[in-house]
Each structure stands twice: as structure tokens, then as C-alpha cells.
Amino acid sequence: MLDEQFMREALKEAQKAFDRDEVPVGAVLVHNNRVIARGYNQVELLQDATAHAEMVCLSAGAESIGNWRLTDTTLYCTLEPCCMCAGALLASRVTRLVWGAPDLRVGANGSWIDLFSNQHPMHTLEITKGVLEAESAELMRSFFQKQRNKKNDLSSR
């Protein structure tokens, strides 16, 4: 299945974030069944709260095609987008969103709030949820367990 194939590419990006001590979220942007942009969470590296995987990927996608309008593209993301990223998806006119694990903290597709529940006045976004959800969620669990272990190691010194 193509959705799983491209979500595996997003998981590779999430692993890059994990390896750099970033919250492991990854994204890829696909046009005509080809990855045209990649992104992973870089909030800590850049000290920029807007450097989410989706934002990095959407910017790279716009640069790749030379247009901010990303029509006829699909964004694959390992985690449910937050409000900022949901807004960017609509503003950049991505046609389809596929995400893996829900984000109970700030998920904007129903886990915390649903920004996509109202019909947008100019754009329709098709959404598929839960693709490789277990793998995406496990990477997040592993990351936060690693962070807790580091904190415990430091406090026991």
C-alpha cells in the first residue's frame, strides 16, 4: 500500500529527530507518487517552536516546486498535526494529509481540538488517520522513556 510506503519514509525522518534528541516527528511531501520534500522536528536544534516536521517539510516542498501552493500533494506525518501545522496545511493548499499517531496534547484533528471539522471556505483537505500508528506511537514512547531515564540518571548523581 502506498500510504504505508510513504509513512515509512516519514518514520525515517522521525528517526533522524530521535537520534538528535528531538521529539521524533517526521514528514514527507509526495507529488505524483514521488517524495519531493522531507522534514523532521528541529525545535531544539534551531531553538524555534515553529520548526515542526510538517513546517520544515512544507517549506522544502514549496522550494522544490517553486510555488507556495502545494496542490495535488499529500503530506505524510508520523504524528497528528498541531494547530499551527494544520493551519499551514490549509494555507499551502495541500490536497491530502495522512498521519500516524494521535497527539493528545496538541492534536488538531480531534485528539485535542478539530480544526478540520468545519468546511474551509476555499480548500478541501482529505485526511487519513492512523497509518502505521503503532510504529509512530512506539517511537514517541521510546523517546520520552529515554528522556525520563536521562533525567533520572542526572538526579541520582
The residues that are catalytic are: 54
Residue type, 98: V
- Of 50, 46, 60, the closest CA to residue 87 belongs to 50
Closest CA to 28 of 44, 12, 15: 12
- Nearest CA to 104 out of 141, 57, 71 is that of 141
